[in-house]
Structure 1
Amino acid sequence: MNIFILIAFILINAELLKIHEEVKESFEGNNGWTIKNGKVQKEFCNSKIVFGGFEGQTIMSKLLIVPKHSYIKLSLDIVSQHQRGLVNIYLDHIEIQSVYVQQKCSENDYYVSTITSEFNHTGASIILVINGYAEEQDYKWGFKNLEISIQHCPQSCQVCDQGDIVEQCQIWKSFQNSWTATHKNLMGQDGWVSINGISGSSKCGGVPLIGGYQKFGQNQGLSKIIKLQPHYKLRLLVLWAKIDSWDNEYGLILFDGIQVWNQSFNLDNGYQIKVCGNSEPKYHTLFRRVDITVDHTGDQVKIDFLSTLDQGSDDESFGLRDLQIFYASCPDQCDMCRGPSSNDCIRCSNNLFQSMQGCNPLPYFYLLQSNFHYDKFTSSEGWILKQSQQSTIITDCQDKTIFGGYGVLGVGGIAEKQFFIPHHSQLRLQITLYKIDSWDGEIIIIEIDDEMIWDSSQYQYNEGNLCGTDYPDKLIYLDLIIRHEKQNTLLRIRSNLDENSDNESWGFRDFSLMYDVSNIVEIEDAFEYLLSLGILIIISFI
């Protein structure tokens, strides 16, 4: 064995912490297991107690809450009448298939097989599923000496992967932790909205779920809009329970209307014996652990848990639990970014200006007007729409309102406003622009006094399906400084769209207009300086 691999193996195992053990010397009742097609009997093997008496078609499941971790080691002794065991063992969706040591029990003709397995794992819990698969009616099996150990995440890390050092996993900050209860009656939806489905929880074997059998089927699921701190990545962990007759249909997770995860399932995907659902035994169950990381920015995200199921929830369904969402934060003084460094900043905080050197103050700009900064607004605040395609001038986009938008500003649409600006030499314009639906190379144009000062040809980032129809939309966060001196000024925003606003449209919000008074300040500063000199002269003469 390579010496470096050996050292790594020793280090990993040296850091493992035992978090669970059972059936060492005794057990009580079902020992927390949910058992189907069988019941517990006390057995013995080599003078040690066995949690057993289970039959060939018995299946049992158990939920264990675990600390933050990246690695799991599981070991147990399977005791059965068959030399090959005829028992399946799963941790979540992972089947344990490690090589095992075998011997015979001294009291009877049973065999004991010691099984050990290690693998990478993250999540708020683990789900153990054990089932027999012998056809003989008198076949018996059980287990003893179950042990589970984990490798903890580095200190101060809220989630981690195997091998992470602190600097790697410390970027993740937790902001959502839902559906982790160990009892069905304590499982709340935590603000998530059921889509066409039946709200509430269910239980699948020993596992409480949000949704599940007879709750989430065709055209049903969960949705929520979540406010976020400035960030550039999101990481989502969740347990997806596939239940019953899926036939090449997909579980889906969407961020802002864009698929970030999909997984197809068949009716026979899952454990050998059915855990929950309807009465059809050939429809299997599977607890699938999901871990996805997505580039994302913005001050909110809309998350949907959906499927492509085409039957009701009594025929095919899904449930969820152990939702954890983490974000990687933007650098200081940055409200929006595409990475961790200051050069990745898209929009600075505290009205700082983004330049090649990062976010910097511009002390001589005074605010002239600020419009449409509330999440929800109802007034046009003096803006005029021309050639809009309906009487509505304010529309909803995700969880905010925008001026214009879907169905309003399409081909020929214009938004404009007249401003009177005090003496100045420069203007600073801030605005959030929305390009909605099927844009194909077209641009938004901003004009001042009929002269184009900016267009959106260099801004092509897709932000998700925020509003309108099913096309991906674009957000543009603009902070622009231009030379300008005219006091009575017309600001116009338009596009070169060539289709109606029900196919492609635009709108905006978060508008601010500032003007530069640096020349005035310089004169005032000079006057104050001369005045201070005069005062000094007077004092010196006295």
Structure 2
Amino acid sequence: MKFIALAMLVMLATSQEFVEFYSAFSNADVGQLDGWTIQGQLAKAQADNFFTCSDAAVFGGPKTFGKGAIVTRQFQLPPHFQIKVQVEVWKFDAWDTQRQFFYLDNYLWETMWTGSDGTKRCATPAGGNVNSFSVDQTITHNHAALFIAFASSADKAADKMSWGIRKLKLSYLPCPAECGTCLGPDAIVCQMWVPVSSSWIKNVDADGWIAKGSQTAIKSSTCAGIPIIGGPGNFGNNVSIQKIFDKLVPHYRIKVIAQFWKIDNWDNDNAVLSIDNQEKWKQNVNE
């Protein structure tokens, strides 16, 4: 009987389908730019944020994304435990071992390009080669917010060296309907966890948190177009933020899911998460 139940569970888990929650950049509709933050672009008109190469509409390209360009967006998601990402990343003209980066929260995909990579599949301002690669990956993810960023180490203006993206599609595997958070499709496991509190998913106000140390006010800022609590000039040396949760039901374990952002240069410093004055997580940063 136990073997039959296990077999049924496996079949149910493997038959679950991904739910698509976002797709864009398969055409040159400027309405797709809503919600995206574009920094360091060359283009002045919205329509110039797209470049057509052999009938393929690419978001970015020789009029837009060169040195210093960063494209970011944050998504809010229902309870889930996996994310699937599919996207084409393009390079235009003469790169010289510079790299192209694609971030999905703390996951990174990158590739290095040279001028000889690709073919002259379409006319570009610098007359160089064009190439692309596809990302089709599934990652473990159960945070309510998803941060996505595209960038590069290009060291020339977009009309000399540029990049773009095309056919972005994001999907997730949902938690069981009765679960506020989960690590997989098993409702029995996730029902053990009862959501208690969430902060800074949709709004970035104090929400009962207090700051101690060299900074005593909870302030927000914007990094890469994303609103965050803290940031430059707010949370620095010897600053901690704290909140007391004093109306918990009887329990025996606590789960914390959080996203920590490191900004600027750190020199062998630590980020720390403590619960009831006990250190539960520490990350050393030396860059």
TM-score computed with the length of structure 2 as normaliser: 0.80
Deviation (angstroms), 1:88: 0.5
1:179–1:209 contact (8 Å) kept in structure 2? yes
1:491-510 to structure 2, matched below 5 A, reads none
Partner of residue 246, structure 1: 266
Match of 2:169 among 135, 142, 147: 147
Distance 1:56 1:105 in 2: 22
Deviation (angstroms), 1:46: 3.1
1:191 aligned onto 2:211: no
2:24–2:32 contact (8 Å) kept in structure 1? no
Deviation (angstroms), 1:20: 0.8
Deviation (angstroms), 1:55: 0.2
Label 1:24 to 1:92 Cα distance change in 2 as closer, same or farther (>3 A): same
Label 1:114 to 1:11 Cα distance change in 2 as closer, same or farther (>3 A): farther
2:25–2:32 contact (8 Å) kept in structure 1? no
Deviation (angstroms), 1:11: 5.9
2:70–2:224 contact (8 Å) kept in structure 1? no
1:105–1:112 contact (8 Å) kept in structure 2? no
CA RMSD in angstroms, aligned pairs only: 2.6
1:22–1:145 contact (8 Å) kept in structure 2? yes
Label 1:14 to 1:160 Cα distance change in 2 as closer, same or farther (>3 A): closer
Cα distance per residue 1:203-240 (max 9 Å; x no partner) = 11121111111111112121111121110010001111
1:75 aligned onto 2:91: no
Deviation (angstroms), 1:12: 4.8
Long gaps (5+) in structure 1: 1-7, 268-542
What letter corresponds to residue 157 of structure 1 in structure 2? Answer: C
1:59 aligned onto 2:61: no
**3-state SS of paired residue (1:80):** strand
1:175 aligned onto 2:196: yes
Distance 1:154 1:85 in 2: 43
Deviation (angstroms), 1:78: 1.2
Greater share of strand:
1
Partner of residue 223, structure 2: 204
Cα distance per residue 1:127-180 (max 9 Å; x no partner) = 011111133441011111110011011221111114x41111111110101111
Label 1:87 to 1:261 Cα distance change in 2 as closer, same or farther (>3 A): same
Who wins on radius of gyration, i.e. which is larger? 1
Deviation (angstroms), 1:79: 1.8
Q: Which has the higher contact order (CA 8 A, sep 6+)?
A: 2
1:44 aligned onto 2:47: no
Deviation (angstroms), 1:110: 2.1
Match of 1:157 among 179, 196, 208: 179
What letter corresponds to residue 92 of structure 1 in structure 2? Answer: D
**3-state SS of paired residue (1:49):** strand
**3-state SS of paired residue (2:189):** helix
What letter corresponds to residue 173 of structure 1 in structure 2? Answer: V
1:403-482 to structure 2, matched below 5 A, reads none
Label 1:97 to 1:86 Cα distance change in 2 as closer, same or farther (>3 A): closer
What letter corresponds to residue 173 of structure 2 in structure 1? Answer: Q
Distance 1:16 1:39 in 2: 36
Aligned length: 252
Partner of residue 126, structure 2: none
**3-state SS of paired residue (1:175):** coil
Distance 2:177 2:119 in 1: 44
Match of 2:109 among 96, 103, 106: 96
Deviation (angstroms), 1:94: 0.8
Distance 1:77 1:104 in 2: 16
Partner of residue 107, structure 1: 122
2:208–2:243 contact (8 Å) kept in structure 1? yes
Partner of residue 6, structure 2: none
Match of 1:18 among 17, 20, 44: 20
Distance 1:145 1:29 in 2: 11
**3-state SS of paired residue (1:174):** coil
Cα distance per residue 1:4-47 (max 9 Å; x no partner) = xxxx7996585111011111222338442222222453201331
Partner of residue 114, structure 2: none
What letter corresponds to residue 19 of structure 1 in structure 2? Answer: F
Partner of residue 257, structure 1: 277
**3-state SS of paired residue (2:197):** strand
1:45–1:105 contact (8 Å) kept in structure 2? no
1:208-357 to structure 2, matched below 5 A, reads 208-227=227-246, 228-267=248-287
Taking only the aligned residue pairs, the percentage that are identical comes to 25
1:27–1:51 contact (8 Å) kept in structure 2? no
